[in-house]
Structure 1
C-alpha cells in the first residue's frame, strides 16, 4: 500500500476516500509522471548584510564575523539588532537585508523574486502556513520577542529543502538562557490616519483576545439544516420532508425564513473613536544545575499586541467595452478600519549533559487576528453611465490565523567516535485560518430632483453574501544530520549527510450563503441592515425572504504532500587558503490536490491533481582566503520551486492581500533554477565591505496572469512561462566614522553608517494563453525591482545611555500584475521608507524607546496606463515603549 496513506485528514467520511484516491493515483499514474531527476535549479548566493541600529556597532560587527565563517553565504540578524532598529517582527527586520524587499508587510522578496521563491524554516524545520493563498509563512506573525536570530541563506546548500529560490529564512527562537533572566515591556502607539474616528459594528463583540466570541460562526441551527437538507432551497427541503406538495413547500419556506434569523445581523457600521495601540510582553528564563555537568533550562514568554488603523484607499474602475476594459476618469474611494490582535506564547525546555549532549523542546503558539471593515463609494456596471446613481459597498472581514508548533531537537558529539556530531529534530505543527461570517452587501444611492439622496439595499437574489471559511493545515517533519571531521596533512575535511521526511495534509472548506430581497419594497430596503433583516421582517411571509447556500462555486478542497529526502556533502579546507563545499540532495516529492463539488465529491479528473517528482539537486561553493582580511566566494547550484497547493487547485477564491479573484490551474509545472554567484568580501576591524554578482536561469517560471473577465473585476490565475532569468550586482558596507581627527573626530567616533544596494535585471519569455490576451510576451518578472537600497546611520553615546538609528529603505518599481488586452503592465511604485528610533537607558536594566515610522509620509501606489489603479495611504506611525530586564 502506498506510503501516501499516512496522510491524516480531519473531515469525517472523507479520510478513507482521500487515502484510497491518493494511493490509486500515485500507483496507477506513477508511470505517467515525468522523471525529474534533473536538478531543479537554483541557488542564491551571497550577500547580505543588513541593518544595524543604535548601539549596534558591536553586534553588527559580530554578526558580520559569523557570516564570514559560513561556508555558504548567509546573513544573520541577532536579537539586539532587531530590537535596536525598532522592528516589531521578523518581516520588518528582514526588509533591511541586502536585496530583500517587504511586500504587504508580510512576505519577503529576495533579489526581485516573488514570495514563492523564498522559503521559511522554524528552528530548521518546515512548518505550515496559516495563509491559504501563500505557501510561505507570513513573517509578520513572528514577534521580535521570541526571536533569537534570523538567518538568511541566499546560496543553496544540500542540507536545506530543494525548494529554494531566492533564499531561505531560518527563524531561530530563544533557547536555554545563559543566566537567569526576566524581561517585561509595555508600549503604546498611534498612526496619523487615526485622527478621525474609525469604523466598528456591534455584532463583532468584544474580541480583545483575538478570538471570535461565537457571534460570527455558523449557528448550530444552520449547520444542522445543511447536514439534513444539503441545498437550502424550498424545493430541496420539501423533497427531504417527504415530497413536493403544497404542505411540504409551505413548511419548507417557513424553515428557510427561520434559518435567516440564525445569522448574525447586528452589523450596522458605526463611527467610534480609535483607541491607541498597545503592546506588552513578558518573558522569564533560568538554568538549574541538577548535578555535575547536568543543566536544566527553561525559557517562557508571552506577548500581546493590539492595534487599530484607519484605511484610506482608492481604486480605478474598469468598464467593459468590446473585448477590452476601459479605465474611467474617476475613482472609488475606500474608507475603513482594521483592528488587529497578535498574541504569541512560547515554552522551551532544555537539558545539557556536559558539553557533548543537548536536548531541547520548543512549543510556540502564534495568533494573528484581523477584523476589517471597508466601505467603498463608487460605481459599478449598473451605475457607470448614470450620473445620478452610485453605490456604497460594505465588506466586513474577520480572520484568525493561528499556528501551533511542538518541536523536540537534539545535538550530540561523540569524541570516542572520531568526534562524530549528530543533530536531529522532530516537529509537529498545525496551522489554521478561520474566517467566519464575512459579509458583503451594496446600497444604491439615487440623487433625487430636489438634490436629496435616497439610499436603499439593492433588491436582488444575492443582495447580501455571507461566507464561512475554515482551513486546517497539519504537518510532520523529521530530520537528522551527521558530521564527521577528518584531517589529512594540511587538509581538514568534514563528511556530512542526513535524511529528512515531511508530510502535510490540508482540509479547506468554505460555506457561502445569499439573502434574497426581491420580495421587499424599496422603502423597506431603505433602512439600516439590522432593521431590514429584523426577525419580524424575515419571518413575514409577505416579504418573501429567502436564504440559500451557494452551490455553483466550489471552494472546498483536500490536499496532501510528502517529501522523502537525503543528502551527502563534503567540506574541504586546505591550509586555510581554500575551502571547498560540495554536495547533492535527492528528493522524492508527491502531491495531490482534490477540488470537491457541492456534494463533497471529488471534482474533475484525479490524474490532473497529482504531481510526482524526484531529482538530484547539487550545490558547490568555493571560498578563497586571499589574506586575513579579504576573501572571495564562488558558488553554483540547482534547485526547484514547486507550485503551491492553492495554485494547482481549480477553485475560485479572493486573495486577501489584493482583493483580486483568483482561480488555480491544475496544469502547473515546477520551476527549475540554475544559480551562479561570485562575491568579494573585505573585513577590517569593525568595518566590512562586499561586492558580488549573481545570475539565475529559470525554466518554466510560474507567473500570475489576468484572465478575461466580464464584470470589470480582475480575475487572476497562474501559468508557466517558457523561461526567465535574473542577474545583477550587490554591494554593502559597514563603517564606523572614526577616521576623522580633531574635535570633530571625537564626536564622529560615536556614529557609524551601514548600507547596501542591489541592482538587477530580469526577463521572462511567456507564450499566449486561451482567455489571457497578454500585452507583453517579454517583460520583467512579476514582483521584480531593478534596485533595492538600504542606508542606516547609527549613534551610540560614550556612556551607552543614548543610542539612535535613522534607517532608509527604497525599492524600484515592480510589476504588480501583467497587462492584458493592450494594457500596460501594472507597476507598484517605489516606496521611500524613512524610520527613526531613539533609546534612552536611565539604568542598565531600563530602556525607554521612541519609534517614528514612515517619516516621509509615503503612500503605496500601483500605476497602469500612467494612471493610479490602486492607492493606499500608509500614514505615519509613532510608538513609545518602556522595558525592564535583569
Structure 2
C-alpha cells in the first residue's frame, strides 16, 4: 500500500462514511460526555460536611461526606488524600479505592472486572484513548497535580453512558481557585533495579523532551517510494519502471538497495549508567473582580516527569510436540531499560455572573513518551533441543501517546423559572499513538569446541523487522441537562432530563519492512548492527541486500462510532426519611471498523464490520435514612458493555501489556449486564463504616482466548461466552484512634486507620470454539480477583508539621488468560504492596516529602501448571520532593 493511499483519509475515509451513512446510517462517532450534571456537589456548593477536630482526617472525612450525599453507590478520593499517600498519578491513587485493583500501572479493574468493564470521564466528558489496544484511557497519564478529585461510581445512573460494567471513573481537574495561588515542586527518585547498568542506543539521545528527535520516523525517500511503487520488490518496481526486463530489474535492485540506506541504522545497543529520576511542576491561579457580581478566574499548570527503570523479566517457552504445547523447564531471561517522559499542561478559565451563571473552559494536554529496549536470551523452536545454540532477541520500541482536550461548559440557575437549573458542555478531544521505528532482530549464539561463543545476526529473509505505526482518534461530544425542583408537602422532587451526542473517528496505519540478509556471509553478520548494515554493505550488490514492505500482517483500519442518547429521571425525597431515584436512558449506537487492504481499499465484508443497536437502560436507587448516622441503599440497573473497535477488527497486533499476538474477531456481540447493590453506611464525627453486597448477571460476556498456534507463541483473540455472573461483598472503614483515655489515648488521637475489603466470586459458561481447545468451559472471569484489600495507617502531628502514611494493598490471584489443550488457566499471583510516605512541613508554604514504594520487594508473577510463565521484577522505589506554595 502506498503511503499516499494510507494517509489520505479523504479518499478511503469518505468511502467508508458514505457506505456507513447509506447502508447503516452511521457516520463518524459522537457520544455522550456528561459534565457536571452527574458530578457531586463541590466544596463551594451545598454539601454536608463531617466535623472533625483540626486537620486530622479532614480530607478523608470531606470525601466521605460527599459520598454520603450521592444517590448512587460511589467512592471519592480528594486531592489531599492522593497527595498524602504519595500517589503520582490517577492510576496509583485509584488502587486504594474499595474493590479496585491496578493492572500494569495503567488500567483499573472494578470489583474484579477487567478494564473493558470500566469507563473513564474527564470532567464528566468522554475522551479518546491514546492506547490503540484498549478502549479506556491509561490512567497513569493523568498526573496528580491536575486532579481535584476522583469519583468512582459503582452503581449506574441514567446521566452516565450506558456502557457501564464494573464502574465509571470521573477525573475532575483543578477548578478556578477561591484566591490567588502559586505552587511549585521538584523531586527525584530511584529504583533499586537501577543499581546495575541499563541500555541505550544513539537514536534515543534526545528523548528528555518527550518528543521524537526525528531519526526514528519513516524517511521522506521511503514514503515517496511507497507512493510511487507500492510493494517494494524488484519485480514490482521494475513493472513501474516500464516492464520486467534485465535493465529495469537491475535498476530496481539498485533502488531497493538505496532505499535500505533511508532507514535509521544507528541503533547499536550499549550499556549505560541510569540517571536518577526527576520531576517538577508549577501552577498558578487567580481571581479578578471585573464588575459587581462578575468574577473572572484562571488556573494554569505544567508538570514534567522523567523516569528510567531497568527491566528484569522471565518467560517460559512452550515448544511444539504433536498437537500439544508442552512446558519446558527452561526460561528466557529478559533484560532491558525503559525510559519514560511525561509532560502535561492545563489552562482553565472561568467567568461567574452573579451566583446563577458560570462559564468555564478547560484545556488539558497530556503526552507520555516511552523508549524501551529489551534483550531476551533464550531458545526458539530451532534451538530448544540444541545445547550449544541459543538466541538473543533485541527489540526497540519508541512510542508517543498524547491527548488534547478542549472543553467549554456552563451552569445556569433560573430562579424566575421555578429554580430551573441547566448545565451543558461541549468537548473536542484528540488522541494519538505515534510509534515510529520499532525494530526487532535476532542473533544466534553458537558455542564452539574451545568454549568461545560465535554470535551472528541470523541469515534470513526477515532478519530485521522495522515497524512505523500511527493511530489518530478524534472525538467530539455535546450534552445538556436540566433539573426542575418541586415541593409537595413533605415530598421534595427533582425532575431531570438531558441529551448527549458523541462522535468518534479513528484512522490507524502501520508500515512494516523486513531486511533480507540471505546473501551475507556469516562473518559479515557477526559484526554490530551498524556495521552489518553500513552504507557500503547495503549498496554492495554481492551481499544481495533487499528490503520488503510487509502487507500480510498490516493492521491498517478505519473506524467510526456514533451515539445519540437521551434520559429522564426523578428524584423523590420524602420527609428526609427516604430518597428514591429512578430513571431511564435511551441510546442509539452505531459502529463500524474496517480493515484496509494492501491496495488501499476496504477489505472484508462491510456487513460483518457494522454494529447497530439501540435500547433502554433503566436505573433505580432507594436510600433509607434510618437515623442521623445510618443510611441504607438499594440499587438496580441494566447496562451494556460493547466490544472495542480493535476487538472487532480482524487484524493482527501485539498487545503492549502482555507481548502476546492478538487478532480481532468481527462477530463479537455486546454484553448486557443486570446489576443489583445493597449497602449500609454509618457516618460519625471521627469515623465512618459501610458494608454492602452486589450482584451482576452478564449475558454474552467478552473473553480473551488463546487460539491454537504452531510457533510456540501465544495468539490471543476474543469471543463471547454464553453467560457469566459476579457477586460478592465489600466493606470499608475510617476510624480516628480516639477511643482510649489517658496519655496514651491523647497520643493515639494523632493516628487514624482506614481500610476496605472486597470478596467476590465469578463464573462464566463458555462454549467450545473452532481453533481453540479450551480446558475449562466453566471458570472465573478473566481478570477477576476473589479478594481485594487495602489498609492505611495515618499520622498527623498536633502542629501539622509531620504527616506519615503507611499503605498496604493486595489482590487475589486472577486469570491472565484461559488455558487450552488441557493446560490449566494461567493466573497472575497476588501482589502485596506496602508503601510509606512521610511529609515534613516546617512552614505553611514549604513541604519536604519522602516516598518508599514496594517495601516488600514483591515481583509480578503469572503461573501456569504450577510453573512461572511470566515474571517481572518490580524493584523498590524511593523518591524525595520539595514543594512550595502560597
* TM range, smaller chain: over 0.9
Task: State the SS of the aligned residue for 1:13.
Answer: helix
Q: Is 1:25 aligned with 2:62?
A: no
Q: Distance in 2 between matches of 1:612 and 1:669?
A: 10
8 Å Cα contact 2:26/2:562 also seen in 1: no
Task: State the SS of the aligned residue for 2:616.
Answer: strand
Give how far 1:20 is off.
Answer: 1.4
Give how far 1:16 is off.
Answer: 2.0
Give how far 1:15 is off.
Answer: 2.7
Q: Distance in 2 between matches of 1:23 and 1:66?
A: 44
Q: Distance in 1 between matches of 2:666 and 2:73?
A: 36
Give how far 1:204 is off.
Answer: 2.0
Q: Distance in 2 between matches of 1:109 and 1:482?
A: 32
Give how far 1:273 is off.
Answer: 0.5
Counterpart position of 2:177: 177
Q: Distance in 2 between matches of 1:374 and 1:462?
A: 19
Give how far 1:11 is off.
Answer: 1.7
Counterpart position of 1:46: none
What are the Cα deviations for residues 15-57 of structure 1, in whole angstroms up to 9, with x where unaligned? 321121212330599xxxxxxxxxxxxxxxxxxxxxx9x9661
What are the Cα deviations for residues 230-276 of structure 1, in whole angstroms up to 9, with x where unaligned? 00000000000000011100000000000000000000000110000
Q: Distance in 2 between matches of 1:749 and 1:604?
A: 68
Q: Distance in 1 between matches of 2:528 and 2:106?
A: 36
Q: Distance in 1 between matches of 2:23 and 2:330?
A: 52
8 Å Cα contact 2:26/2:591 also seen in 1: no
Pick closer, same or farther for the CA change 1:10–1:793 going to 2, 3 Å.
Answer: farther
Counterpart position of 1:38: none
Give how far 1:203 is off.
Answer: 1.9
Counterpart position of 2:77: 77
Q: Is 1:208 aligned with 2:208?
A: yes
Q: Is 1:377 aligned with 2:385?
A: no
Give how far 1:554 is off.
Answer: 2.7
Trace 1:17-416 onto structure 2 (pairs within 5 A). 17-26=15-24, 57-416=57-416
Q: Distance in 2 between matches of 1:475 and 1:64?
A: 34
Task: State the SS of the aligned residue for 1:646.
Answer: coil
What are the Cα deviations for residues 295-335 of structure 1, in whole angstroms up to 9, with x where unaligned? 00000000000000000000000001111111110100000
Q: Distance in 2 between matches of 1:536 and 1:264?
A: 15
Give how far 1:10 is off.
Answer: 6.5
Counterpart position of 1:645: 645
Q: Is 1:810 aligned with 2:810?
A: yes
Q: Distance in 2 between matches of 1:126 and 1:261?
A: 44
Q: Distance in 2 between matches of 1:203 and 1:589?
A: 44
Trace 1:625-640 onto structure 2 (pairs within 5 A). 625-640=625-640
Counterpart position of 2:45: none
Q: Distance in 2 between matches of 1:21 and 1:341?
A: 41
Q: Distance in 2 between matches of 1:637 and 1:237?
A: 60
Counterpart position of 1:828: 828
Q: Distance in 2 between matches of 1:192 and 1:279?
A: 18
Trace 1:461-860 onto structure 2 (pairs within 5 A). 461-860=461-860
Counterpart position of 1:33: none
Q: Distance in 2 between matches of 1:739 and 1:404?
A: 50
8 Å Cα contact 2:192/2:877 also seen in 1: yes
Q: Distance in 2 between matches of 1:422 and 1:55?
A: 35
TM-score, reference length from structure 1: 0.96
Give how far 1:294 is off.
Answer: 0.2
8 Å Cα contact 1:56/1:84 also seen in 2: no
8 Å Cα contact 2:285/2:298 also seen in 1: yes
The runs of 5 or more residues in structure 1 that have no matched partner are 1-8, 30-51
Counterpart position of 2:13: 15
The runs of 5 or more residues in structure 2 that have no matched partner are 1-6, 28-51
Q: Distance in 2 between matches of 1:686 and 1:400?
A: 46
Give the alignment's Cα RMSD to 1 decimal: 1.2
Q: Distance in 1 between matches of 2:101 and 2:109?
A: 5
What are the Cα deviations for residues 649-687 of structure 1, in whole angstroms up to 9, with x where unaligned? 000000001000000000000000000010000111120
Counterpart position of 1:43: none
8 Å Cα contact 1:10/1:507 also seen in 2: no
TM-score, reference length from structure 2: 0.96
Q: Distance in 2 between matches of 1:697 and 1:530?
A: 57
Give how far 1:816 is off.
Answer: 0.2
Q: Distance in 1 between matches of 2:739 and 2:96?
A: 26
- The runs of 4+ residues in structure 1 deviating greater than 3 Å are none
Task: State the SS of the aligned residue for 1:494.
Answer: strand
Q: Distance in 1 between matches of 2:9 and 2:216?
A: 21
8 Å Cα contact 2:56/2:750 also seen in 1: no
Q: Distance in 2 between matches of 1:640 and 1:13?
A: 34
